[in-house]
Amino acid sequence: MIPGVGALGGTDPETVEPGDVETLLGLVGDARVVALGEGAHNITEFHSLRDLLLRVLVRELGFTALVMESGFPEGLAVDAWVNGGPGLVEEVARDGITYRFGECEAVRRQLRWMRDLNAEHPGRVRFHGMDLPGSSTSPGPAVRACLDRIPALPGDAELLRLSDLGGRTAAAVRYAAMSAAEQARLVERLRALAKRAFLTDDGVACRCAASILAFVEELDPPGAGPYPRESFMAETVEWILGREGRVVVSAHNAHVRRSPFLGRPTLGGLLDATLGPGLVVIGTTYGTGPEVRFTQRSPRPFDCEVSLRERPTPPPNSVESRLERLGPPVTVVDLRRVPDGFLDGVEGTLASGGLDPVDDFPSAYDALVHVREVTRVPGAFERLRAEFEHPEDPESP
């Protein structure tokens, strides 16, 4: 047995054996934040692994919240629901978890577990989004949340109408079609709203205002340093830590890794600067399963050819190739304990048909969980392709 390498009995939180809990607990130590990456979005097993990890850490180590790569203002409704609020989980997950990640039974199952736990132990576990509003393309949800929490002024209804740009793809297309004057007018009014919110003592309104400013900054991001979105997510996690004890953060590997991604600081790197050993980063990878690729067809936002194929044999310079040789269906690799030379020749992780470079894995991740075979979330690819092909209809199935 290679030091630092172990097996997990599976990713299903309802079937994993008690002994496997120790494998996960051994990675965490005293960390306040456990950041769990996704090697790809819309993979059923990665959603299930997040569910499993949260259950273990809530029950065994007193963790108090799940923080997702999802809109901060939209997440307020999800948190209300898991704490006993009205509505159906299907509607809450669809509307309150952005990028359409909530249209998945594995996600809904996790929310139901959180709600059931809170029914027995009120306030035991919370839900937070940490990302920009409107799947990062529409400020509307943050504008609405701000206006619901601050004193009203004439013109608020018009601002809400102007800022509600629609679903993810439709919003990006609609904003790009505005004249320069229309864009400038919208941005000016968004900045003015944020300034109003910052004058209040409402922490949620202020965080929504910060999301609006980050949205505006992403329209013309700086040429160096962290993207405004990464900074906002890191600042939001720190804000959440002022209200929670210990949290699980869930986002793509490219966000949670400590080391820069393509030369830009990441969420994980920004958190590491403030948390140090209080942060544990776990990436996820897979060997065989679905792989979605995007080919840009025109300069229009989201005008992409979306294709789906089975991942081919991982190339030898990928970490997936190295981890496939280990054997178990689900392998846990503690990068802090593996022997020197274990990852020699490995240059990165696979993502969207390419290789995301990683210069030094132990500096990027504390551990990796490798799933040999994964499955796609039912309907996710079809929804994605329909959305990109028909941006005027954000509700395309």
Beta carbons within 10 angstroms of residue 38's beta carbon: 26
DSSP 121: S
For the residues of 195-263, what is the DSSP string, one character each?
A: HHHHTSS-HHHHHHHHHHHHHHHHTS--SSS--HHHHHHHHHHHHHHTT-SSEEEEEEHHHH-SS-BTT
pLDDT of residue 397: 41
* CB distance 205 to 146 below 8 Å: yes
pLDDT of residue 24: 87
* CB distance 255 to 266 below 8 Å: yes
CATH code of the domain occupying 1-63+246-397 = 3.40.1660.10
Return d(Cα 342, Cα 192) in angstroms, integer.
54
Beta carbons within 10 angstroms of residue 85's beta carbon: 12
Pairing of β 279-288 and β 367-373: parallel
Q: Where are the beta strands (DSSP E) in 247-347?
A: 247-252, 279-288, 290-296, 304-310, 330-334
φ/ψ of 308, rounded to 5, equals -125, 135
What residues contact 176, with CB distance under 8 A and at least 6 apart? 300, 301
Check: pTM over 0.85? Answer yes or no.
yes
Domain extent listing, the chain? 1-63+246-397, 71-131, 133-225
Instruction: Work out the angle between the directed axes of helices 89-96 and 72-82 (0-180°, nearest 10).
Output: 160
Return d(Cα 103, Cα 395) in angstroms, integer.
12
Per residue of the chain (397 residues), give pLDDT as tens: 799 999 999 999 998 887 788 888 999 999 999 999 999 999 999 999 999 999 999 999 999 999 999 999 999 999 999 999 999 999 999 999 999 999 999 999 999 999 999 999 999 999 999 999 999 999 999 999 999 999 999 999 999 999 999 999 999 999 999 999 999 999 999 999 999 999 999 999 999 999 999 999 999 988 889 999 999 999 999 999 999 999 999 999 999 999 999 999 999 999 999 999 999 999 999 999 999 999 999 888 888 899 999 999 999 999 999 999 998 999 999 999 999 999 999 999 999 889 999 999 999 999 999 999 999 999 999 999 988 887 765 444 4
pLDDT of residue 23: 85
* CB distance 165 to 109 below 8 Å: no
DSSP 338: S
What residues contact 27, with CB distance under 8 A and at least 6 apart? 34, 280, 282, 332, 334, 366, 367
